[in-house]
Amino acid sequence: MAFWSEQKVIVTGGNGFLGRHLVSHLRSQGVGALVTPRSKDYDLREKDDVIRLFRDHPDTTMVIHLAATVGGIGANRLHPGLFFYDNIMMGALLLDQARRFRVAKFVGIGTICEYPKFTPVPFREDSLWDGYPEETNAPYGIAKKALLVMGQAYRAEYGLNAIHLLPTNLYGPGDNFDHASSHVIPAIIRKMIEAQEAEIDHVTLFGDGSPTREFLYVKDAAIGIALAAEHYDDPEPVNLGSGYEVSIKDLAHLIAQAVGFSGEIRWDTSKPNGQPRRQVDTTRARERFGFVAQTPFEQGIGELVAWYRANRVEADQPHRL
């Protein structure tokens, strides 16, 4: 609490899915001041806007950069250029101006998509450079990985305390349920609930169900980011995960049970599977800053389903990229 009371923090993306949970957690920790810039006021892809952000808040001590242009497999395939450009520009401009305005610490949020397509499981941070990312999300992953390198370079040349975190797939209340850009958990939940309402006896999902994923409850992710921001000061990237690996096929059945969907689950094998397996080694996060995810997966899925049913109007709104 003493640490956070002395901090003035800019949280980019602070009004988004992860950002709202992080902001809530930082306030519970007694953060001294908190700035959550909105895109209508500051376009973080534009140098002049980023400079103005720091001029408007000259005593900022920390930046936690969550803002991102992101989506599921479909969105990645449709917008590879957009995903690369937006993410690399936002991160590069923020890092550079944080250095110029003498911000003490920069917390960069990367992505599990930075890892090579065929990384040995569990993913260890030392494997990050052992191959090319999975093709459908490579532009996004490479843009984020470039920001890891930039942070390390700025640490070496300018002394900027930049750290880089690699969260696994997030889920939880406030998730994006837009058909065009949602990730796998909200996409399946929405499909199954809409099939129930329309009395359709099946749903069709991407791929063949064989890939595995690791999911991190968004409130756990917020705690992990805050712990790293307070306690971790080294250049090496750090995984944030739950340690729980589940196949997409098993995930679909788990969600069906949570939703109460009893219809058939069909698989469209003309659609890509994405990366074959994802599970991270969480040793570094546990040893360096004491982060261990606490939310059981079934509990988290149940809470997300309940949130979605209670917030359909908000949740079903198109998600602007």
The answer to whether residue 244 is catalytic is no
| CA–CA dist 12, 233 (Å, integer) | 20
Strand order in the sheet with 62-65: 33-35, 8-12, 62-65, 105-109, 161-167, 238-240
Closest by CA to 205, choosing from 277, 263, 139, is 263
How distant, in Å, are the alpha carbons of 41, 62, 145, 304 from that of 160? 26, 11, 18, 38
Closest by CA to 321, choosing from 133, 181, 175, 119, is 181
Catalytic pick from 115, 140, 154, 171?
Answer: 140
Phi, psi of 152 (to 5 degrees): -65, -40
| CA–CA dist 223, 185 (Å, integer) | 21
Query: Which residues have C-beta within 8 Å of that of residue 56, sequence separation ≥ 6?
Result: none
The answer to whether 207 and 163 have CB atoms below 8 angstroms apart is no
Active-site positions read 140
